[in-house]
């Protein structure tokens, strides 16, 4: 894809979603870390429903580290994979106390040492809590980047790398949020609303669908 086309996509998304941000509700890096661990394969809305009560009772590593897995499971049982998530959150809390004086580290390498924290979760924490330029690739970013033709890969890490090369660094965070917003609202996984899409003229998937370019 040509630089001009990439610029157009960035500008259109930036205009459409100027205030795009994470929908997870949090008031500290630690709360965001917990919310992001909880959000795997669950909607942000469902996570917010649970954390609204949870964070009133527990909102520091010290609070979670002393819970039993069963106790935390009860609190988060309406969320998918809650048993694993309960274990991860308690173990991560203990590690934060042991190694980081109870603070969430602000670099990817250290974040990824925490149980339940993969590259995407680490990138979300870096981008949203610490305002560091990062490009978290979730299911929406992955799908849209491929459909638009910005990248061509079935591997999350490759998509992240390719996007970081294509998009100016100071736009990474907003671009990431705006792709998610667009994925939720228009470019849905099963039935993208291409006819109402601001990116219809720029999108490889839609051009192929309309037979304007070959499907190769
Ligand atoms: S044109 Fe369709 S496939 Fe392309 S970004 Fe828009 S909704 Fe998604």
pLDDT tens per residue across span 109-161 = 999 999 999 999 999 999 999 999 999 999 999 999 999 999 999 999 999 99
Is 35 near ligand 1, meaning CB less than 6 Å away? no
**Is the dihedral angle over the CA atoms 213, 187, 42, 11 positive or is it negative?**
positive
User: What structural domains and CATH numbers belong to the chain?
Assistant: 3-20+136-209 (1.10.1670.10), 29-129 (1.10.340.30)
Pick from 41, 38, 40: nearest CA to 25:
38
Report residue 216's pLDDT band, with 50, 70 and 90 as the boundaries.
low
- Dump pLDDT digits (tens) for 92-108: 999 999 999 999 999 99
State the number of CA atoms in the 13 A half-sphere of 164 facing the CB.
Answer: 12
202 included as an active-site residue = no
**Is the dihedral angle over the CA atoms 161, 167, 173, 178 positive or is it negative?**
negative
Sorted by sequence, the CB contacts under 8 Å of residue 34 that are 6+ apart come out as: 51, 54, 55, 64, 89
Is 173 near ligand 1, meaning CB less than 6 Å away? no
Q: What is the pTM of this model?
A: 0.91
Is 199 near ligand 1, meaning CB less than 6 Å away? yes
């Amino acid at each position: 894809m040509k630089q001009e086309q990439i610029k157009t996509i960035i500008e259109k998304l930036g205009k459409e979603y100027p205030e795009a941000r994470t929908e997870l509700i949090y008031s500290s890096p630690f709360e965001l870390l917990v919310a992001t661990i909880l959000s795997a394969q669950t909607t942000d809305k469902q996570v917010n429903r649970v954390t609204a009560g949870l964070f009133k009772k527990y909102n520091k590593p010290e609070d979670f580290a002393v819970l039993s897995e069963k106790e935390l499971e009860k609190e988060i049982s309406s969320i998918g994979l809650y048993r694993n998530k309960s274990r991860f959150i308690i173990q991560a809390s203990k590690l934060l106390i042991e190694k980081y004086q109870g603070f969430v580290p602000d670099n990817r390498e250290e974040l990824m040492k925490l149980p339940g924290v993969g590259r995407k979760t680490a990138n979300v924490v870096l981008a949203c809590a610490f305002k560091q330029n990062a490009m978290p690739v979730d299911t929406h970013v992955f799908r849209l980047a491929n459909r638009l033709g910005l990248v061509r890969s079935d591997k999350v890490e490759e998509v992240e790398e390719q996007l970081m090369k294509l998009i100016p660094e100071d736009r990474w965070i907003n671009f990431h949020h705006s792709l998610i917003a667009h994925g939720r609202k228009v470019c849905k996984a099963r039935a993208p609303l291409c006819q109402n899409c601001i990116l219809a003229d720029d999108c490889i998937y839609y051009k192929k669908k309309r037979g304007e370019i070959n499907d190769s």
